[in-house]
Amino acid sequence: MADARMDKLASARAALASAEAKTGLRARLRVVGGAGAPADSSATGSPDDDAPDVVPTPPAVAPGGDLEHLPVPDALRSLLPYGLPRGTVTRVTGSAALLLALAGSACGEEGWAALTAMPDVGWRAASAAGLPLDRVVVVPDPGPGAPAVLGALVDGVDVLLMGKCPAMAPRDRRALLSRLRRRGSVLITSDHWEGADAVLSIHGRSWRGLAPGFGVLTDQEVEVRLGGRRGAAAGGATTVLLGAGGVAPARRTEPARGGAVGVEQQVEGERHEGPASATDGRTGTWARPTLATVGA
């Protein structure tokens, strides 16, 4: 077990070094270091030199997954009962929290992930969603070298996350998909991807935790719909909670102090859920009142 983890660590490091070399980053760092800087064998050569090929490690089998699939959060099993098929692309629209939770579950206890073209990701939120930060490789801005960077990273990780990446032309995406299939990794992206195996989209947002005049936002209740090539055959939707703990099945809120029960409430075009009264236990829906100007 320890040897397998060390092999995956070495593979992830080699993938990152390969990505750095293919984009010329290591060469630029050596120049910045000056003539007196210690020699770094990985920094030699020009940016155009081909980096050594990364030897892929065998795919990890995470709990809840198998040799053909990576696991998904329990709340999404009604849409993806077998998990994420290896060698496929899943697109997530409308929720970074859902994307991170999906990646965290797919990594399991031993898998590695790489994030690229996602410079604004919140690491505390990523950790809360289940992403193992001690097994994450990050390239915030791959720039025009994105095809080479992604191609190098996919050889060293199980889960590849990609934000909006205009440098990836259609032929680059086809080449990356071919590499994903050979490696047995999965790509989860928020960017448009023609022919994605699965597309998870967010609809019908509502918030929990608010009441008239008080409360704190805690969780979002959202409807997740399945589309893409798989959705064309299966389709379907499920309602989940997105919050500090990642993604969880939606459930009725517990009675609040004084006997109030969570209800949907409308505020500025979105539904909100919370007690109608914390003192008398009444429940019901409410709307922002219409204000009239006195003397008008």
What are 162-182's pLDDT values in tens digits? 999 999 999 999 999 999 999
Residue for token digits 């959705």? Answer: 231
Predicted local distance difference test score (pLDDT) of residue 96: 92
Predicted local distance difference test score (pLDDT) of residue 26: 46
pLDDT in tens, 187-231: 999 999 999 999 999 998 888 888 888 888 888 999 999 999 876
Distances (CA, A) of 221 to 3, 59, 182, 244, 273: 42, 34, 37, 13, 9
Predicted local distance difference test score (pLDDT) of residue 230: 74
pLDDT in tens, 70-128: 999 999 999 999 999 999 999 999 999 999 999 999 999 999 999 999 999 999 989 98
- Residue 54 corresponds to which tokens in the numbers above? 């990364």
241 forms beta bridges with: 221, 248
Q: In the predicted model, what is the mean pLDDT of residues 10-15?
A: 66
What's the mean pLDDT when you consider all of the chain?
Answer: 75
Compare 281 and 155 and report the one with higher pLDDT: 155
Distance CA 42, CA 26 (A): 7
Predicted local distance difference test score (pLDDT) of residue 21: 64
Question: Which letter, b or e, does each residue of 209-224 get, where b requires 16 or more Cβ atoms within 10 Å of its Cβ?
Answer: bbbeeebeeebbbbeb
pLDDT in tens, 63-85: 444 689 999 999 999 999 999 99
29 confidence band (pLDDT: 50, 70, 90): very low
Residue percentage of the chain with pLDDT more than 70: 61
Q: How far apart, in Å, do the first and last CA atoms of the chain sit?
A: 77
Predicted local distance difference test score (pLDDT) of residue 208: 86
Predicted local distance difference test score (pLDDT) of residue 5: 61
Residue for token digits 């539904």? Answer: 271
Q: Is the pLDDT of residue 6 over 80?
A: no
Question: Rounded to the nearest 5°, which phi and psi values hold at 26?
Answer: -65, -40
Residue percentage of the chain with pLDDT more than 90: 48
Q: Is the pLDDT of residue 275 over 50?
A: no
Phi-psi region of 114 (alpha: psi -120 to 50; beta: other; left: phi over 0): beta
Identity of the residue numbered 190: S
Predicted local distance difference test score (pLDDT) of residue 10: 67
Compare 14 and 60 and report the one with higher pLDDT: 14
Provide CATH 3.40.50.300 ranges for the chain: 2-50+70-199
Predicted local distance difference test score (pLDDT) of residue 168: 96
Instruction: State the fold for domain 2-50+70-199.
Output: Rossmann fold (3.40.50)
Q: How far is CA 80 from the centre of its chain?
A: 16
Question: Rounded to the nearest 5°, which phi and psi values hold at 3?
Answer: -65, -40
pLDDT in tens, 202-214: 998 888 888 888 8
- Residue 189 corresponds to which tokens in the numbers above? 């992206």
- Write the secondary structure of 100-119 as one string of H (helix), E (strand) and C (coil): HHHHHHHHCCCCCEEEECCC
